[in-house]
């Protein structure tokens, strides 16, 4: 489909979904192409962020998860992911802020836990 419709963000997204389990780098490239064609595709941003996270690249994952967070945050994983990456990178205050942007109860709970840890 991507050969026949190279400008279809949906084709690239579904290619990424299909190959993600066996070809993470290929999936990353497909998701990157998806967001290049459709920068407001929050789900593709989230999938790309998960790809970077699994590859041990929290700095890159943070920026990508933030794009998911700012583009509709489907499934409430983008803001949560941005918070997780900030926490992993040692910036607890920013982690709390991103967790608070999430609609997911688990992220809000984590924000509260961190706030209780940093209280004087």
Kindly report the pTM of this predicted structure: 0.90
Sign of the CA dihedral 4, 39, 30, 74?
A: negative
120 pLDDT tier (thresholds 50, 70, 90): confident
What spatial distance separates the first Cα and last Cα of the chain, rounded to whole Å? 57
Predicted confidence (pLDDT) at residue 101 exceeds the cutoff of 80? yes
List pLDDT tens digits, range 56-92. Answer: 999 999 999 999 999 888 777 899 999 999 999 999 9
Concatenate the DSSP letters of all residues of 50-111 into one string. Answer: HHHHHTT-HHHHHHHHHHHHHTT-GGG-HHHHHHHHHHHTT-HHHHHHHHHH---HHHHHHH
| Cα 114 to Cα 120: distance, rounded to the nearest angstrom | 12
């Amino acid at each position: 489909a991507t050969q026949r419709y190279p400008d279809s963000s949906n084709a690239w997204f579904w290619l990424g979904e299909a190959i993600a389990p066996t070809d993470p780098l290929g999936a990353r490239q497909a998701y990157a192409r998806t967001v290049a064609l459709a920068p407001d595709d929050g789900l593709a941003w989230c999938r790309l962020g998960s790809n970077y996270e699994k590859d041990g690249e929290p700095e890159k994952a943070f920026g990508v998860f933030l794009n998911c967070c700012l583009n509709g945050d489907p499934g409430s994983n983008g803001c949560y992911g941005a918070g997780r990456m900030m926490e992993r990178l040692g910036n607890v205050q920013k982690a709390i802020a991103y967790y608070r942007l999430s609609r997911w109860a688990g992220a809000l709970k984590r924000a509260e836990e961190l706030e209780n840890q940093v209280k004087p």
